[in-house]
Amino acid sequence: LEWVGMEGIALPIRLAGADPAAPLLVPATVDVAVDLADADARGIHMSRLYLLLQESLASEALSAPALR
């Protein structure tokens, strides 16, 4: 397998609003995948991908650096 992941994950995304002290949380659908091109790679637990998304998207306003 070269790419593994999950599709259609329902998560809130934090957006910067007019008031920086009160960001907006909006519902979103997220897809996430990782490259497993290394034949020696053992894989990844999908729960790690979900937890990383949950922590980052809900705690930091969406931006290009946040997506990296």
Q: Residue 51 above 80 pLDDT?
A: yes
Q: For residue 13, how many other CB atoms are within 10 A of its CB?
A: 20
Q: For residue 57, how many other CB atoms are within 10 A of its CB?
A: 20
Q: What is the pLDDT of residues 4-41, one digit of tens each?
A: 888 999 988 888 877 777 778 889 998 988 887 777 77
CA distances from 11 to 1, 37, 61, 62, 65 (A): 26, 28, 13, 13, 19
Residue 36 near residue 1, CB atoms below 8 Å: yes
Name the pLDDT band for 1 (thresholds 50, 70, 90): low
pTM above 0.75, yes or no: no
pLDDT higher at 27 or 57: 27
